[in-house]
Structure 1
Amino acid sequence: MKNWKTSALLLTSTLVLTACGTQTQEAGEDTAETANTAQVDTSQKDSAAQVDTASQPVEETYEDMLAQGREEYEAGLLDAAGGTLTLLLENDLSQYSAIETEALELQEEIKAAQAEKAREEMDTLPEETEYATERQSVLAAEEFNKATGEDIQSVSDEEIGAWLDEKEQAEAEKIQASATEDTSEAESVLSEEELLQQEQQAVLESVIRQLGLEPEGRQFFLVKTDEQTYQVEIRQPHAVEDVEISNMLGIFEYNMETGTLKKMNPVTGEFENYTK
């Protein structure tokens, strides 16, 4: 991916894992679970869609995830359907062979459809682009269109790069202004970029902790919608028949003040309270 110039929108798992590695030294210590200090347990293998088995039988949970994936697929939401099936198949389904078989078959259908769609879209993209992942992001497309009135799929890399630079600078300046008011003189020596990184890292750590998600190999798109709210789009890139695909594991809305998390229903477009 691009270097840190895309920080206002996109973070790869590298940054997340760096923070996780630092926190590993603190294992065994009790830590307050606040929005800005939450630790990320990268050893946890449960998927973001895994629910508490005390409140719902495991088999019913898996059946619901399979039904959700099929609903998304039938609605033409291929990336969302692929993400749902990815999360489902990360679970141990050895005792649920019928669900596993159906999920694998549906996943292959989705992959074939994604590959075909990606080939069609390649005709509209520049032959070489440094922003392939940004062009696939739902949040990036919405933000770019809102700011420029253009379709992110059809513009040049130069236009995307300029937009990202402007976006990062604007967000960093807002955070710097807030920090100047709220922090001591010693703390205010941090640059705008460092403050932005700290805020985004704190948001990601809290979101990943609440999801119980393994961050490695995932991409995280962040958009700050107001002073207290971030939208976080989580994707998992992979190749299908030599075509780069990016499954959407979910779009979440995180409130920094309350630490609450909502997940977008990709079919309705509405954010719903997230419960694990």
Structure 2
Amino acid sequence: MNQDPTAAEHPVEAATDVFLAHRNLLFTVAYELLGSAADAEDVLQETWLRWVGVDLSTVREHRAYLVRICTRQALNRLRTLARRRESYVGPWLPEPLLTAPDVAEDVELAESVSLAMLLVLETLTPTERAVFVLREVFGLEYGEIAEAVDKSPAAVRQIAHRARAHVAARRPRGAVSPAEARQAVTAFRRAVETGDLRALLGLLAPDAVLLGDGGGVVQAAPAPVVGAESVAALLCRISRLPVSLTIEQVNGRPALVSRVDGEVDTVLALRLDEGLITGLYAVRNPEKLSRMTRETALGR
């Protein structure tokens, strides 16, 4: 194998260049597995520390090798997070990200990082989640995934089949175009701002569910709010609060962001099924809102 003389003379610089070229991809892999930007950043740091010690001349495919390191580190952290979430106060929701318009243009990527899909992924085992994400979102071959999750290619095929069926039964029904999503969120914002109960009931599915994540730090619904009437009644209270509501790109989809005195107070993402809102995800935990002040670059 021919060795790049520059890589041989400056191994850390060469490793850095390769890592930075794939950084957005690696962050997205880690985030989709963990649902937390802070933990994804920690995984990237761990990935870098292992990558910088690798002899690049022995690596045939940089992208696959980096994804393998990143996935293994994310799986280790995911098991730790599972124990941490057992003691979490109230419903746990993924950390929302302010994303650039180009994420929304990649429909598959936008769906995979939406809060609705991340919650579906939470119902998979760690290995199933990794296999599903690496295969369905990032298009890795079964052999590459097998090395990342320490399974045989045959076992990975079975896991992928099981995970696809599991996700298909729980993911939103019917694809929603960016225009349809924007129209639904715009109508929703208008109804919330005016406290229009009838309009809200017309937008919500009868079995709509609202989850609120305050993390025990700020006030939020301690349990899921179930049913259109209960959800609408709760939302109507917002019109009486001194908050400003804007529509922003969150995890590749338009979402409602409320601010108090210019500071982000709540991110409210929606799940749409066949034209109606079936899921509402209100993230209020201040520790999860830091990524709403700047755009996060995602990639695949």
Give your verdict on TM over 0.5: no
> Which protein is richer in helix relative to its size?
2
Bigger Rg over Cα: 2
**TM-score, normalization by structure 1:** 0.29
**TM-score, normalization by structure 2:** 0.27
